[in-house]
Each structure stands twice: as C-alpha cells, then as structure tokens.
Amino acid sequence: MLRFLFFCVIWLSQPSWAGHAYAQFGDIKYPPNFRSFGYVNAHAPKGGELTLVPPSSLSSFDKYNPFTLKGNAAPGLGSLIFESLLVGTMDEPTTAYGLLAEDVNVASDHRSVVFKLRPQAKFSNGDAVLADDVKYSFEQLISKQAAPQFRTLYAEVAGVKALDARTLRFEFKSANPELPLIVGAMPVFSRQWGAENGEPKPLDKIVTDLPIGSGPYTVGRVVFGRDISYDRNPDYWAKNLNVRQGMFNFDRITFRLYKDNTAQLEGFKAGEFDLIQSFIAREWARAYTGKQFSSGQLIKRELKHSNAGDFQGFLFNTRLSKFQDVRVREAIGLAMDFEWMNRQLFYNAYQRVRGYFVGSDFEAKDLPGADELALLQPLKAQLPAQIFTQPVPLPPKTELDPASGETLRDHLRRAKALLAQAGWTYREGALRNDKGEPFTLEFLDNSGSMGRVVTPFAKNLEKLGFQVKYKVIDFAILQKRLDVYDFEIISTRWVGSLSPGTELLERFGSKAAGVEGSSNYMGVRDPAIDALLNQVLAAKTRPQLTTALKALDRALRFGFYTVPHWYGGVHRVAWRNGRFQQPGVSPLYYQPDSWAMMTWWGTGNNLHSLVRSNQEGKD
C-alpha cells in the first residue's frame, strides 16, 4: 500500500454501518467523542523544531508532487501536507477513524460506501474541502498522468459520485472487503493545486507548484533538491479534533538530504539534524560511539515495536531469459552464506528472512494443512508438484545444518546440479549455456552499503562459474532504471503489514508486471499467484485472510523469485538529548520518524531557538 499513509481495511457483518470508526476484524478501541489517542500527550506544548533525514535512499528531490511517476518528490509531503478521509492509529493494527470524514456508511451489499465530510475541513488556502475535491483527487490518481500503482490500488472502484457538497459515494465493482477503507485512506488535494486562470492542469504537469492540502503543515523554507522545511499552519482546521490532539506539535519540521550514509552520520554528529535511524548493524555497533554518546549528548536506543516484519532480499528480474528457469534462481540462492555474514558483518544482530510475511501468522510452514489445500488443490495443474509433497523451502543454513546435515559446500554442489539441469555448465573458465555464452550477474545499488554483502556472496557464485559485477549508481538513476525494469538483481525492502491486501497486487500481480513504474520488480506473471491474490482480497474473516496469505507465501517461495536477506526486531535510533520530550506511552505500530513528527514536542533550548530564528528571519 502507499508508503506515506496508514492503511486500514474493513469487513462488516452488519447489514450496514455508519459511525466514527471501523475495524477490520476486531473491536474498535476508542468510542465516539474520545478525547485523544492513548499514545499521545493531549497537553503537549506547541513549538520548537525537528530536523530529520528521510528514512530511505532519497538523496535529492525535484518536485512537490508525490503522485506522479517521473522524478523524486520531496520527503514529508504525504504525512504533513495531504490528508485522507480516514486515518489509522499506532495502537490498533486494522482500525481507522474519521479525519476529513465525520461519518462513514457501508452499504448492506458492501458494494458502496458513503462518506460525509466535516464542515470545518479546509485546505491550506482557506477553501473548504468538498466532495468535488475528493472526486477530483480520485479521478486524477486513476488517470494515466498518475503513477501506475494508484490504478492498481483503485482498480476495483467503479466510480465516485458527489451526492451533495459534503457527501460522496464510492461504488465498487465487487464486494471486496478491503475497498471501503482503501478509498478512505486516499490522499485528498485541492482542485486549485496548479490551476492556471481557474483551470486545473493535468496531474503530471504539476511539478513545482506548491501543494494545496489540508494537512497540519505547509511548505516553508526550501533549498531545492537538498533541504525542505514544513511550517505548522496556525489555522490548521483539525487542531482541536480528537484524532489530532497532542499531535504535530513542532512549529517547523525540516528534512535534510545527504548523498551517502557516511556523510549523513557525520552530519548527525555535527548537529545538522536531530534524529537518525540506523539500518546497518556494523555502523550501529562501531560508528554510533564516541564522546557525544558517552556523555549523553547523543542518545542511542533500540526501540521495541510490534510492527509486522519487513521483507528484504535480492530480487531477480525474471523478464530476462537468464532468470526464467526456477532452477537457476534456486541455485543462486544456495550460494548465500548468511551465517558467516551474520557473525562477521552483522554482529549477530539479525535473523534470516524465510518468507514474504516475516515472523507473522501469515508465514507458511512445513507442509500445507487442510485449510491451505482447499485453496491450492484447484490450482494443482498450475503449481509445482512439490508444493504438495515437500515442506515449504527455507533458506539453507551454511554452517552444519542439524536438519539436513549439509554445509555450504553441499549447497554449492546442489546448485551446480540445478544449473546443469537448466543447461548451464562450467567450461572454459566460466558457467556457460549450450551457445557458449557466459552467465553474468549484475547487482545494482545506490548507496554502496551492499558492497560488503555482495563481495562474499560473489565469491561463492564465482565458484559456480558466474561472472559477477557490483555497480553503484545514484538513487535517481536507479529509480529510473527500476521504473523500466532495466536491471538484473537489486536489493529492496518492503515494509511489513499487519493486514496485507491490495498492495500485493502491485507487488506480485501479473497485470502490474507489464506496467512501468509498478512494484512488481520481479516480473511475476503466474495465474496461480493471481488466483491466490484474489483469495486474499476476498477474505471476510481473519482466519480466511491468514490461510490465503499462507498459501500465497508458499507459492511464492517455491518460485524462488528472491534471495531472502535478514531482519531485526527493533528500531535502532539515535537522537539529540535535551531538545525533545516523548509521551509516556509508546505506540505499538510505528516508524521512528513518523512517531517523532507526530507525537514528540520541543523543550528548553529547542523552543527558544526557533523563536529566535523566526525573529531573525523577520529582521
């Protein structure tokens, strides 16, 4: 689902329902007219400044429009500028509450949903948020001018109608239980954004026009391409709304972009920004040290969370003929020596990723049970035979595996046999096909951090005869190549979900595989996978969803589309001491940057320094 919104889903057993909130399968925690969420301080003071870096590889930006394919949007737009009809929480996995909408009514046949907008909802330019703005946003997002993932996300929405100025109805092509809140989480923007002489521009022509959203911040000071600040809107329409109490407390939030991890970390130590999340175990152990950490000037913490595990791995581009044979993909994965890497490179900080739904109830295990077989048996002719007779594939252990009695050498022997079966044999100093062509592999990276992982992996691959190349390119160039699938192997991370759904169509669906800019990087085109995706979307209960996701995980793992990486169970975060306070209760489901932006507040020198900087700006 969209990376900058909390997404929730719903399936209601009642004939119809209208109210302040919806839950997918469980109870709603907060009653009507609740005061604030439990993980905020409703009395947090406003003021101060927070400076961050994006929790991604973004090294520059060239637009203020996050909804189009071309270019890189400035960080923070989705969470600070644009809002949706409903908003999720950090302490319930699949529940959403009214934000722009004050009331939601799902039809008895689940084929439509009606939203009633709050009369006080306003955009940053002072215009009221009306049903026509929501309708306009939807129509722009499903147009060819928008990035293709939106068309996938809203593919089952038949249309939207404005019933009056503040009431609208979304109609669905099917009774998909996820659809009511998929549209409820849709970003809403003004019809006046980018308008010229009162006429709106096509969405892909809106590039550097300052966005007009309804969120708590507006764009402030900008060093285009490098730094961007957001200033809290003193006239923010929802500042007294319960779903916003105690939230977005900073007067200014700034993002600074750096070219690489080393420069970013040194910038943090030099005081250029306030909070950083570490994704590299070696850096966390060796570089987050020194006098500033010892004295308490900088705080270093491993923060617990209850998030679903993220999937991370090397992805094969199966559009290329060299990767179309599943035996080749399996053989390459056998050469990964995770145990050695974890010990020598990662300080034993990680566990191996096994499947696509890491550490959750959705992860397939052993042989399929009766519930999975009920979904898999009708697809038997389209699935690998071993899916019914063999336990789900696990990444092989490379030190002596008690289960198999094998070591890395045994795995390389097995890989050699698989490659031979696929028509690739070692001769004349390389792994070659029947035409004599060598098997080359190119790993693409944008930061260089994967180099220490690819190097030992490449040594094992070279023992099999592969010719391996590791190439580091700028993030913007990498993104352009990913958009047109111009790569062989990449490393990626997908944020986990406590209720996976429609976003999986974009990741694994056949239709998305042929659309430039989709997230189906692997090029999965499998009718059996498509059928299982439909089962996921059709689930009406939590047990049905769990079964469908386990069957999907099993089928994908037998496809060997990836070489799984590793994961950890905590957020590794450092921040500047003495400048911030946090609520007494930590959330369950969160990312550190969004938690800080939404619920922390400035204190002491932080508050004073911003007042002074604002005054200096006026002088």
Q: Boundaries of CATH 3.10.105.10 in the chain?
A: 311-567
pLDDT attached to residue 378: 97
pLDDT attached to residue 8: 36
CA nearest neighbour of 282 among 413, 472, 449, 163: 449
Q: Boundaries of CATH 3.40.190.10 in the chain?
A: 17-23+46-191+201-268+571-618
pLDDT attached to residue 404: 61
3-class DSSP string for 4-35: CCCCCCCCCCCCCEEECEEECCCCCCCCCCCC
For 226-240, the pLDDT digits (tens) are 999 999 999 999 999
In angstroms, the CA 180 to CA 22 distance is 10
Strand pairing class (440-445; 467-472):
parallel
CA-CA distances (angstroms) from residue 617 to 221, 250, 252, 613, 614?
Answer: 11, 18, 14, 6, 5
Mean pLDDT in residue range 54-81: 94
Mean pLDDT in residue range 367-394: 96
Would the pLDDT of 160 be above 90?
yes
Mean pLDDT in residue range 404-433: 93
Mean pLDDT in residue range 260-286: 94
User: What's the pTM?
Assistant: 0.85
Mean pLDDT in residue range 451-466: 96
For 338-360, the pLDDT digits (tens) are 999 999 999 999 999 999 999 89
pLDDT attached to residue 614: 41
For 498-557, the pLDDT digits (tens) are 889 899 999 999 999 999 999 999 999 999 999 999 999 988 888 999 999 999 999 999
Would the pLDDT of 1 be above 50?
no
Q: What share of the chain is helix, strand, coil (3-state, %, to 5)?
A: 30, 20, 50
Predicted confidence band of residue 9 (pLDDT cuts 50, 70, 90): very low
- What number of other Cβ atoms are within 10 A of residue 507's Cβ? 21
Would the pLDDT of 293 be above 60?
yes
pLDDT attached to residue 7: 34
CATH number of 17-23+46-191+201-268+571-618: 3.40.190.10
pLDDT attached to residue 15: 36
Predicted confidence band of residue 401 (pLDDT cuts 50, 70, 90): low
Average pLDDT of the residues of the chain: 91
- Fold exhibited by the domain 311-567: Dipeptide-binding Protein; domain 3 (3.10.105)
Mean pLDDT in residue range 289-295: 95
In angstroms, the CA 527 to CA 218 distance is 45
Mean pLDDT in residue range 104-110: 86
Helix (H) or strand (E) holding 535: helix 527-538
